[in-house]
Amino acid sequence: MPESHRPDIRKLDLFSEMSDENFQSLMHASYLQTFPPQIELITEGDSSDFLHVVVDGSVELFARWNNRETSVAIVRPISTFILAATLRDAPNLMSARTLEKSRIVLIPSEDVRRIFDEDNNFARAIVCELASGYRASIKKTKDLKLRTSLERLANYLLRQQIREGGGPEFQLQTEKKRLASYLNMTPENLSRAFKSLKPYGVEVDGSKITISNQSDLEKFARPSPLIDDKKV
């Protein structure tokens, strides 16, 4: 793999504390590949041959069952995905597709597992990463089970607002179709849900959102650190 992205990858919590030697060994075994949009990188059920690192573009993780499909996460640079399957040498539980032209580093799972065995700092970092991912997944379950779709949307908007800097105006970084699937609703319903949030001060213009009444929206959404906070 060429060296250009190594410093950025090295900065990830997952890789920042491991020995130089082991990091270089991991990178040496990896491939950097560029994929066009809409390529299915992984199909659920496949064995997990590579730990993936998105260095450019974006990747959707989704799942299928019985002819239905749902969006589980959207991965943006720079982050890894499919770590748990890699470590357990188990089949991937989710499929992955590029949303746009994307550059992905593929680290062979064997090497990840080998260096996990050798490098204690790497093993510790993996524990942190897994614990975070696990907790994020629990939060998602709480969001799904405890909130109506309208409440999920309202809280999503507040989270997205923070990610985008906290101002009253920001962009949805996702097609509404995909956002609907992520929030477990139909596109039609999402469209209606946006209208239902208008009385609470949510204005929608294409993918531009304006929160014209922050406190009203927050009073409706009731965000909780135990569901919505990135940290914690």
Partner DNA sequence: TGCAGTGATTGATAAATGTCAAACTCTCGT
Partner DNA sequence: ACGAGAGTTTGACATTTATCAATCACTGCA
Residue numbers at the binding site for DNA (CB under 7 A): 148-150, 175-177, 184-192, 194-195, 204, 206
Cβ distance 209 to 198 under 8 Å? no
Which is nearest to 77 in space by CA: 31, 28, 8, 30?
8
What's phi and psi for 55, nearest 5 deg?
-105, -15
Say which residues have a Cβ less than 8 Å from residue 33's Cβ, sequence separation at least 6: 103, 104, 106
For 103, the token pair is: 């550059």
Cβ distance 1 to 27 under 8 Å? yes
Using the minimum distance from each CB to a copy of itself, give the nearer residue, 124 or 208. 124
Query: Judged by CB under 8 A, which of 16, 38, 120, 186 binds a copy of itself?
Result: 120
- Closest contact distance (angstroms) between CB of 205 and a copy of itself is 29
Residues counted in the chain: 232
Q: Which does 189 bind (CB under 5 to 8 A by kind): a copy of itself, DNA, none?
A: DNA
Q: Which helix (H) or strand (E) holds 189?
A: helix 187-196
45 binding a copy of itself? (CB under 8 A): yes
144 binding a copy of itself? (CB under 8 A): yes
43 binding a copy of itself? (CB under 8 A): no
Q: Which does 107 bind (CB under 5 to 8 A by kind): a copy of itself, DNA, none?
A: none
Beta-bridge partners for 68: 65
Residues 210-229 that bind a copy of itself (CB under 8 A): 222, 224-227
Q: For residues 99 and 115, what is the distance between their CA atoms, to the nearest angstrom?
A: 31
13 binding a copy of itself? (CB under 8 A): no
Taking contact as CB under 8 A, which single stretch among the options 97-105, 121-129, 197-205, 207-215 is the one that binds a copy of itself?
121-129
Could you please report the per-residue DSSP string of 26-48? HHHT-EEEEE-TT-EEE-TTSB-
Footprint of a copy of itself on this chain (CB under 8 A)? Answer: 44-45, 63-66, 68, 70, 72, 83-85, 87-88, 90-91, 93-94, 116-117, 120, 123-124, 126-128, 130-135, 137-142, 144-147, 151, 184, 222, 224-227, 232
